[in-house]
Amino acid sequence: MADLVKLTIDGREIQAEKGKLLIEVARQNGIEVPAFCYHEDYTLQAACRMCLVEIEKTPKLQVGCTTPVAEGMVVRTDSDLVRKSRKGMVEFLLTNHPLDCPVCDKGGECELQDMTFRYGAGESRFVERKIHTDEKQWSPVVYFDAPRCILCYRCVRACNEGMGVGALGVGNRGAISEIVPNHGDHLECDECGLCIDICPVGALTSGAYRYQTRPWEMEHVGTICTHCADGCKTTLGVRNDEIIRGNNRDRSGINNEFLCVKGRYAFDFTKHPERLQSPMMRTEKGYEPISWSKALEVVAGRFASVKARGGKFGVIGSNHTTNEENFFLAKFARQGLGTNNIDHHRTGDLAAFFDALSGKTGALATTGDVYSAKAVLVVGADLAQQHPFLSFQARANFRHHQAHIYAVTTGPVREDNQAVASVRIEKGGEVAGVESLREKLKAEGDLVIVFGDSVQGESLRKLVAFGDSLGIPVKYVCLVDYSNSRGAFDMGVLPRDGGLSREQMLAATDLDVLWVVGANPLKGAELASKSAFVVVQDLFMTATAKQADIVLPAASAYEKSGTVTNVCGEVQRLKQAIKVMGTKTDLEIFGQIAKEMGLNLGIWLPDKVFEEIRKNVHGYGVSPALLAMGPVPTMPLNGHVAALPGAIQSSGDTLFTSGSLTPYSEILNNVMEAPGRLYGGQGQ
C-alpha cells in the first residue's frame, strides 16, 4: 500500500497516493482541471498550459499535469487568477485557429469548443490576419488541416509511443510549427486512425467519415469488432440504418482508445452492393433468387431425406459466428442430423493447448495480463500484423511498467524495438529458440507467453513444459484468428468422436450434404463428392458459394446480438447496430431449418441459447450481469482433451486483409499499404 498524503483542493480535504499527478488526483475527486496535451497513456508534455493552477507558497501558477501531490499542499483550481489564465490560453489558441465549426467534422465533439464554452471569452479581440495553409490529404483515411491544429502533440505520441510506428513528427518552429507525415506529403503507416480519434480538434479528420453527418445525428452502438481475434470494442455510429463510422472514443471495452484499421474503418463491407440479400438457388441458367420459404423448404427437405436414409453429412462452421450460433450448430449436427462430421477452419492448436494445461488453474492470460505481466514472450507471431491490440498492450506494458519483452520469430517484428532479447529462428525452431532464453526468463517475476500456429501438437506440449520448468508463474495465449475462433472451439464445432475433419469432408467422395456456414473452404480446394448437396450461408458470393446449390444470405456480426470469445478466452457481448434487408442471422436460419425439419433443438433466441451455454459448456458459467458490463474470462476445459484430426493453420491475414471480407471493404483496398506488410517483413 503506497504512502497516502493529505492535501487540500478548492477547500476540500483530499487523500491521495503520494507522488501521483495533481491533475489525476483532482479529476479522480471530481474536480475538473482542463488540459489538451495531457493524456494518461503517453509522456507528459506540459505544453498547452491549460492545467495551470494556484498552489500556495509558490509564486507562479504551477502546471497540474507534472506536479506530484505532496503532504499539506493547498491548491486552488477555481480562483480568479486561474480563471484568467485559462481564459488567456484559450484566447491565444483561438487567434490562429480558423472559425471552421460549420464545416468541420469535429463540431459537436470538439474539445476546443467545449473548453471555449467553459473557460473562454464570448468575443475575440484578435483583429489581425490569421496564418493559413491549405488542408492536406495524407492518406485515403487521414486529412490534416494545419490551421486547426493546436499542437498538443497527442497524435505524435499516440503514433510513436502507442502504436510504435512513429509516422508523425513536428516540423518548422514557432507559430508555423506543423505536424508532418513520415513521407513528406503522405503517410505510410498502419492506417489505424488513432491519430484522428485522439486529436481533440478537427485538425486530423477521417476521409471515410468526411462531411457525412454530425455526431449528434448518429446512434452510437458499442459492439465487438468482427475481424481479428483480439476482441476490441468498436463503437459504431449509425444513422438511418447505415454504419457511418467506427471508433472507440468512449474508451469502453478492453481496448481503451485503440483500434486498428479494420476495427475503425472496415465496417463498409456491410453496405457493399454485392451483399447477398436474397436466398439463391442454382439452376441451369445460373443463380436465381428465391423466397425464404422456398429456400428453407428445399434445404430442410433434402436434409431430412439424407438423414432418413443414413446418408453422410458434412458441416463446416465459422470463425465469425457467435457462440450461440456455434452452440446451436453443433447441437444441430449431433442431435439434429446425427453426425459428428462438424469442423471449422482451426487456426490454432487449442486442443493440444487445453490438454497440456490440464489440471492447472490461472494459466490463461487475459488481454489485461499482457498489459500487466512483468515479462511477455512472443513466439512465432507478428502481433502488429495479426493481433494489433495484443501488440499495443505489450508495448504499453513496456512503456508504463518497463516490462521485459522477448521475441522468438522467423523475421523482424515490431516488438524488437522494445525487446530485451530477440531470437531469429527458422520455422520449426520455436522451442529451441525459447530454450535459449531460459536463463533470462527464469529471472522474471512472472511471464506471459504468446504463441502462433507454428507451435502446435508436440512443440506446443514442449512449450508448456518449458513454461512449467521456469519456476515462475506463467500464463499463455494460444493465438487464433478471426473474431470467434475460440468460441467455435469452445462450443464444440469440432470433429469429436471420430467425426470427419474439414479436409476429410472435402475429400469424401460419398458426401451427401455439405453445409457451410460463414466459411470459404472451397477457395483453392476441390470438393471430391460431385453429387453432394451444398448449402452455403454467407454474406457474399464467395468461391464456396459459387459451388452451392442453395445460398442463404446471412447477417454479419454488426447486424446481430450474441456473444463472442476472443483470443484470450474473454467472452463479450455483441450489440446489433443495423439490419440489412433480406438477410437473417445464422441462428435464425438454423432455427428455421430445424423447425422446417420438425426438430426440437430449443428456442433460437440468443439469450435463451446463452442460458444453455452457461449450463452446459465448461468454463462459460459466467454471470450475465457481469457480461453486460464488460468482458468475462472463461476457464479452460480441465482434464484430458482428445486430439482431433485435421490441420491447424493460421489465416495469414495482415492488417489490411480479413479473410473473405477483404474484397468487399473499400477502405482496406484503397489504402496504399494494402495488401502488403509494412513492418516485420517476414516475421511470423
Partner 1 sequence: MAKQLYNQPSPLETRVVSKNFVIEGSETLDVYLANDGYKAFRKAKEMTPEAIIEEVKTSGLRGRGGAGFPTGLKWSFVPRTSPKPRVIVVNADESEPGTCKDRLLMEYDPHQLIEGILIAGLAVDAHKGYIYIRGEYRYLIDSMDRAIDEAYAKGYLGNNVAGTGFQFDLCTHSGAGAYECGEETALLDSIEGKRGIPRMKPPFPAVAGAWALPTLLNNVETFSAIPPIIRDGGPAFAALGTPKNGGTRLVCISGHVNKPGVYELPLGFPMLKAIYEVAGGIPGGKKLKAVVPGGSSCPILRAEECDIPMDYDTLAKVGSMLGSGGMVVLDETTDMVRFALRIMKFYAHESCGWCIPCREGTTWLKKILQRFYEGQGRREDISMLGELSKNMLGRTFCALGDAAALPTISIVEKFTEDFEAYLARQEVLV
Of 91-99, 179-187, 193-201, 257-265, which segment contacts partner 1 by CB under 8 A?
91-99
Contact 68, 133 (CB under 8 A): no
Cα distance between residue 611 and residue 520, in whole Å: 30
Of 128-136, 192-200, 492-500, 676-684, which segment contacts partner 1 by CB under 8 A?
128-136
Q: Which of 103, 121 has the CB closer to partner 1?
A: 121
Among 13, 80, 129, 216, binds partner 1 (CB under 8 A): 129
Residue 294, amino acid: K
Among 4, 101, 170, 543, binds partner 1 (CB under 8 A): 170
Contact 189, 669 (CB under 8 A): no
Among candidate residues 576, 387, 381, 363, the one with its CA nearest the CA of residue 464: 363
615 lines the binding site for partner 1 (CB under 8 A): no
Q: Which helix (H) or strand (E) holds 384?
A: helix 383-386
Among 31, 69, 89, 165, binds partner 1 (CB under 8 A): 89
CB atoms within 10 A of CB 631: 24
Cα distance between residue 126 and residue 148, in whole Å: 16
Q: Which of 154, 275 has the CB closer to partner 1?
A: 154
Of 49-57, 102-110, 344-352, 489-497, which segment contacts partner 1 by CB under 8 A?
49-57
179 lines the binding site for partner 1 (CB under 8 A): no
How many residues in the shown chain lie near partner 1 by CB under 8 A? 34
Q: How far is CA 289 from the centre of its chain?
A: 35
The strand pair at 550-553 and 533-538 is best described as: parallel
305 lines the binding site for partner 1 (CB under 8 A): no
Q: Which of 52, 488 has the CB closer to partner 1?
A: 52
Contact 466, 449 (CB under 8 A): no
Among 128, 284, 439, 526, binds partner 1 (CB under 8 A): 128
Pull the grid cell for residue 398: 513496456
Residue 376, amino acid: V
Q: How far is the CB of 256 from partner 1 (least distance, A)?
A: 25
Q: How far is the CB of 242 from partner 1 (least distance, A)?
A: 39
66 lines the binding site for partner 1 (CB under 8 A): yes
Q: Which of 69, 449 has the CB closer to partner 1?
A: 69
Of 165-173, 481-489, 563-571, 621-629, which segment contacts partner 1 by CB under 8 A?
165-173
Q: How far is the CB of 58 from partner 1 (least distance, A)?
A: 11
Bridge partners, residue 513, by sequence: 313, 533
Cα distance between the two ends of the chain: 41
69 lines the binding site for partner 1 (CB under 8 A): no
420 lines the binding site for partner 1 (CB under 8 A): no
Q: Which of 59, 524 has the CB closer to partner 1?
A: 59
Cα distance between residue 411 and residue 421, in whole Å: 14
Residue 402, amino acid: Q
Q: How far is the CB of 66 from partner 1 (least distance, A)?
A: 6
Among 1, 175, 628, 642, binds partner 1 (CB under 8 A): 175
On the 0-12 / 13-18 / 19+ scale of CB atoms within 10 A, 43 is: exposed
116 lines the binding site for partner 1 (CB under 8 A): no
- Distances 454 to 69, 318, 377, 458, 521 between C-alpha atoms, Å: 50, 22, 15, 11, 21
Residue 424, amino acid: R
151 lines the binding site for partner 1 (CB under 8 A): yes
Cα distance between residue 59 and residue 554, in whole Å: 67
Contact 207, 142 (CB under 8 A): yes
49 lines the binding site for partner 1 (CB under 8 A): yes
Among 38, 73, 96, 557, binds partner 1 (CB under 8 A): 96
Q: How far is the CB of 71 from partner 1 (least distance, A)?
A: 18
The strand pair at 550-553 and 280-283 is best described as: antiparallel
Binding positions for partner 1, rule: CB under 8 A: 44, 46-50, 52, 59-61, 66, 84-85, 88-89, 91-93, 95-96, 125-126, 128-129, 131, 150-151, 170, 172-177
